[in-house]
Structure 1
Amino acid sequence: MTLIVAGERSGVGKTTVTLALLASLNRQRQVQSFKVGPDYIDPMFHEAVTGRSCRNLDPVLTSEQYVQQCFARHSATADLSLIEGVMGLFDGAGDSDWASTAHIARLLAVPILLVIDCSHLSRSVAAIVHGYRSFDPRLRLAGVVLNRVASDRHLEVLKGALAPLNLPVLGVLHRNAGIKIPDRHLGLVPTDELQGMEKIVTQLADVGDQCFDWERLMPLLMSPKKTLDAKPKPLQAKERRVRVAIAKDPAFNFYYPDNLELLEQSGAELVFWSPLKDSALPADIQGMYLGGGFPEMFAAALAENEQARQSVKAAVQAGLPTYAECGGLMYLCESLQDLEGQTYPMVGVLPTTVSMGAKLTLGYRQATVQQNTPLLSKGVQVWGHEFHHSQLSQTSAHPIYDLSGYGASTLSAREGWSLFNLHASYVHLHWGVHPEIPQRFVHQAEQQSGL
């Protein structure tokens, strides 16, 4: 079995609690982590702590069955598993709790470790915990973690208020825990950009050793795993037939590990390169994948590497099957205006410029494909996710997607660029329930190269 770490709301410290648990456990055992939702950055921290790829559990981008299969397959390869939730316990997509932490807890039949921000609470903590425990009787609340406790006296009051609920306090973190992970416009600063990550992991492990009731926690983590109805499917990698260049550096690092694995299983050899440091694309490639990331934070360095920009432009214009997602799309524009208002030249394949702004575009998108691309056929519908502060100066005359929002959302837009043999869009896709996407991409690469 496992635990799912939930917050009573966003910002209560569930990521810090999760990382401290993972770091402490990882000192003696192999731990597989999972993250509810479409997030890329929190899973980077999980991987930095455990040394294993964190897996996203998102039934909107995939399906309930895929969530079950993914959890069963990857938790079976480790001694222990731990899931980090998303937002508040019952906060889901649209106007329901679909894709919420509570939804995943029910789907996987795992108990909940509820993190409470106690910085502005005393006895009221009991009313909050009672409400969360009773709101959905299908859920099992295993215990609580009291975060940002001010003093021993404060802790005494909190525990006294919680005592009548007969719910264990499984962790206590004081305000001066000494761990600070910097953040910015799209969340935490990614691990690739942090100095002294090893020191942070050690601090997290020390906090984990000292701040949790391991005598009560370990039986919860070590319990026999419930057999899920969805059996894990064996994954078979095919013979490598094409080489696909994957942009991977601090500017481009938003990739679902499932996507990269599915590419490999479809017959691709992944060749990693850096648009920041490498002077050209890798030799003898038949496809290119430019993932999301933070090109706005590295715009000057990307612009300075003119040889790489020209190499990418020539390859795209020559018809190399290319997939560019969010940050990758930004890189392909004529220019990028960063957060300080400075403008830098980019690749110049797309006849538009991109600039950073205060407005945040965020949410799940149902995308109906309007034309054939290297990834998708016209008429196909897929679910994706947008999360960006940038805007393009103009839209494509022949957009890839007709977008609508999730649930009650009134969003309606057309988006995406398809030039040469390029699929470029702000929409992030998870290919878990669409293995035909990487298969089509590999097939396009084979055709282009004459294999």
Structure 2
Amino acid sequence: MNGFAQGARIVLVSAIASGQGKTTVTAALARKLARQGKRVRVFKTGPDFLDPMLLERACGSPVHSLDLWMVGLERSRRLLAEAAAQADAILIEGVMGLYDGTPSSADLAREFGVPVLAVLDASAMAQTAGAVVRGLRDYGPVQLAGVIANRIGSERHAQMIAEAMRDIPLLGTLPRQERSLPERHLGLVQPEEVGEIDGMLDALAEQLSFSADTWNALPAAALGEAAQESALPALLQRKTIAISRDAAFAFLYPANLECLRALGAAIVHFSPLADEPVPAQADAVYLPGGYPELHAAALAGAARWKQSIRTAHASGMPIYAECGGMMALADSLTAMNGETHAMAGLLPGRVIMQKRLAALGAHAWRREDSELRGHAFHYSRMETDLEPLARTVKHPTGQAGEAIYGRGSLTASYFHAYFPSCPHAVARLFLEEGAA
């Protein structure tokens, strides 16, 4: 049994809605606490790839997902237990608004008795902030540790906000930023693409008024015990899985890599964007999601990569492609600017980018007596005559979701799978018989 370290403080950072500055404040607080000498771990609620990249840069440790449905109650508890045994400070960034979704960030906070640190965009309000935050606390209710007011205009503005809080402490403020973290259609720009990202994080940490004494005054975590995780059978022993990893294919849960290794697989990385072929030692290929639409011209010109993936497919090598990985295997990809580029051509059909969101939400791929859980989030559509092998099921509505395509040893879908939710199904994806 793993107990929680007595000294670890933990908060769930949430807000009334998206766009309030949760990620900015969480990153600033993580960097500030780390600079104060604290061991910091950060988690992200729900499915996300881009926010965790920034938060990892801010705290210096991998950022895992916590979610009562996709990750599961017991695994979420184990992840928190492991973090609390190693850290002084644990931050959990929520998703959307505090009560949005099924399950919501509030559900997660209540399940583990974690106090909520509310981020409030105060740029266009003063005394009304008190009413907003009291409603946020009492609607659930949740245990509210306090508030960080974002986009504060002056010291007097901060004072007005603090007075309006009444019995709720204003724990910190962050002033309006001349330069915000850059975004694009799927969310934040990847940290590696922002030249001065560490300087920006240091500046945010400096400007965030939140003292070490304030953090230490929070109650220590008392989250109970977490059962040890059973060892997985080595179903992928002596298998080497080649995983594409570059600016075009970067959407990958750290837990997915850990799951593959726990199943016995060895992992090698390669870059289609750099025109690297599938590694010679590979027994299977995993093409995760990312931004192939931003690099379509380079991928179209990557002749060695395209020939190598075609050869791997022709030889019967298992290939699993998610979202952006699937897009790169279609006949063509039409970018936002209308330009069409030839892709690898393993899936008959074309991918077309669109300005309107095509899908967003939690999904499950039901496999025999279990289900592989995950999500979908994309701005493109796949036009193909290929009949799907199956379809995911949307959570919680139960409606039909994303198509799962199969062609020989290839399995592809817009669905992003969270591998630990069903490791046995994952193992079958990378074995010779494929997913059929």
Whole-Å separation in 2 of the counterparts to 1:215 and 1:74 = 22
Q: Which amino acid aligns with 2:415?
A: V
Going from structure 1 to structure 2, the CA distance change for 1:337 and 1:45 (only over 3 Å counts) comes to same
The alpha-carbon deviation at position 388 of structure 1 amounts to: 0.2
Going from structure 1 to structure 2, the CA distance change for 1:351 and 1:243 (only over 3 Å counts) comes to same
Which residue of structure 2 lines up, in the alignment, with residue 265 of structure 1? 262
Which residue of structure 2 lines up, in the alignment, with residue 8 of structure 1? 16
Whole-Å separation in 2 of the counterparts to 1:396 and 1:413 = 16
Query: Secondary structure of 1:416's match?
Result: strand
Which residue of structure 2 lines up, in the alignment, with residue 35 of structure 1? 44
5 Å-filtered alignment, 1:307-322, equals: 307-322=304-319
Query: Secondary structure of 1:156's match?
Result: helix
Contact 1:113–1:142, Cα closer than 8 Å, also in 2: yes
Query: Secondary structure of 2:243's match?
Result: strand
Contact 2:291–2:324, Cα closer than 8 Å, also in 1: yes
Whole-Å separation in 2 of the counterparts to 1:413 and 1:53 = 30
Contact 1:66–1:433, Cα closer than 8 Å, also in 2: no
Going from structure 1 to structure 2, the CA distance change for 1:395 and 1:77 (only over 3 Å counts) comes to farther
Going from structure 1 to structure 2, the CA distance change for 1:419 and 1:236 (only over 3 Å counts) comes to closer
Whole-Å separation in 2 of the counterparts to 1:171 and 1:102 = 21
Whole-Å separation in 1 of the counterparts to 2:305 and 2:65 = 32
For structure 2, which runs of at least 5 residues remain unmatched after alignment? 1-8
Whole-Å separation in 1 of the counterparts to 2:228 and 2:263 = 19
From 249, 254, 276, the equivalent of 1:252 is: 249
Q: Which has the higher mean CA deviation after the structures are superposed, 25-34 or 342-351?
A: 25-34
| TM-score normalised by length of structure 2 | 0.91
Which residue of structure 2 lines up, in the alignment, with residue 386 of structure 1? 376
From 435, 441, 449, the equivalent of 2:423 is: 435
Going from structure 1 to structure 2, the CA distance change for 1:224 and 1:118 (only over 3 Å counts) comes to closer
Contact 2:10–2:220, Cα closer than 8 Å, also in 1: no
Going from structure 1 to structure 2, the CA distance change for 1:395 and 1:169 (only over 3 Å counts) comes to farther
Whole-Å separation in 2 of the counterparts to 1:329 and 1:127 = 47
**2:364 equivalent to 1:366:** yes
Query: Secondary structure of 2:250's match?
Result: strand
From 126, 146, 150, the equivalent of 2:130 is: 126
5 Å-filtered alignment, 1:184-333, equals: 184-208=184-208, 211-220=209-218, 223-233=219-229, 241-333=238-330
Contact 1:335–1:353, Cα closer than 8 Å, also in 2: yes
Contact 2:33–2:40, Cα closer than 8 Å, also in 1: yes
From 27, 37, 45, the equivalent of 1:19 is: 27
Contact 1:73–1:232, Cα closer than 8 Å, also in 2: no
Contact 2:292–2:327, Cα closer than 8 Å, also in 1: yes
Q: Which amino acid aligns with 1:3?
A: V
**2:341 equivalent to 1:339:** no
1:152-185 CA distances to partner (integer Å, 9 max, x unpaired)? Answer: 22222222222xx22211111111x344111111
Whole-Å separation in 2 of the counterparts to 1:439 and 1:350 = 22
Whole-Å separation in 2 of the counterparts to 1:247 and 1:21 = 32
1:229-251 CA distances to partner (integer Å, 9 max, x unpaired)? Answer: 43243768969512110100010
Whole-Å separation in 1 of the counterparts to 2:171 and 2:230 = 37
Going from structure 1 to structure 2, the CA distance change for 1:157 and 1:104 (only over 3 Å counts) comes to same
Whole-Å separation in 1 of the counterparts to 2:175 and 2:17 = 19
Q: Which amino acid aligns with 1:171?
A: G
Whole-Å separation in 1 of the counterparts to 2:350 and 2:222 = 51
Which residue of structure 2 lines up, in the alignment, with residue 415 of structure 1? 403
Going from structure 1 to structure 2, the CA distance change for 1:395 and 1:292 (only over 3 Å counts) comes to farther
Contact 1:72–1:232, Cα closer than 8 Å, also in 2: no
Root-mean-square deviation (CA, aligned residues, Å) is 2.1
Going from structure 1 to structure 2, the CA distance change for 1:150 and 1:342 (only over 3 Å counts) comes to same
Query: Secondary structure of 2:379's match?
Result: strand
Which residue of structure 1 lines up, in the alignment, with residue 5 of structure 2? none
Q: Which has the higher mean CA deviation after the structures are superposed, 35-44 or 24-33?
A: 24-33
The alpha-carbon deviation at position 227 of structure 1 amounts to: 4.0
Which residue of structure 2 lines up, in the alignment, with residue 402 of structure 1? 391
Whole-Å separation in 1 of the counterparts to 2:361 and 2:184 = 19
Which residue of structure 2 lines up, in the alignment, with residue 170 of structure 1? 171
**2:429 equivalent to 1:426:** no
Whole-Å separation in 1 of the counterparts to 2:221 and 2:164 = 33
**2:180 equivalent to 1:180:** yes
**2:109 equivalent to 1:105:** yes
Going from structure 1 to structure 2, the CA distance change for 1:122 and 1:364 (only over 3 Å counts) comes to same
Which residue of structure 2 lines up, in the alignment, with residue 372 of structure 1? none
Query: Secondary structure of 1:405's match?
Result: strand
The alpha-carbon deviation at position 395 of structure 1 amounts to: 4.8
Which residue of structure 2 lines up, in the alignment, with residue 373 of structure 1? none
1:203-257 CA distances to partner (integer Å, 9 max, x unpaired)? Answer: 233234xx2143222232xx54324343243768969512110100010011111
Whole-Å separation in 1 of the counterparts to 2:337 and 2:92 = 37
For structure 1, which runs of at least 5 residues remain unmatched after alignment? 370-377
The alpha-carbon deviation at position 300 of structure 1 amounts to: 0.9
**2:64 equivalent to 1:66:** no
Contact 1:396–1:416, Cα closer than 8 Å, also in 2: no
Contact 2:371–2:422, Cα closer than 8 Å, also in 1: no
Query: Secondary structure of 2:146's match?
Result: strand
Contact 1:35–1:55, Cα closer than 8 Å, also in 2: yes
Q: Percent identity?
A: 37
Whole-Å separation in 2 of the counterparts to 1:205 and 1:317 = 52
Whole-Å separation in 2 of the counterparts to 1:225 and 1:123 = 32
Going from structure 1 to structure 2, the CA distance change for 1:195 and 1:290 (only over 3 Å counts) comes to same
Which residue of structure 1 lines up, in the alignment, with residue 153 of structure 2? 150
Tell me the number of residue pairs that the alignment of Structure 1 and Structure 2 aligns: 423
Whole-Å separation in 2 of the counterparts to 1:199 and 1:400 = 48
Whole-Å separation in 2 of the counterparts to 1:144 and 1:36 = 19
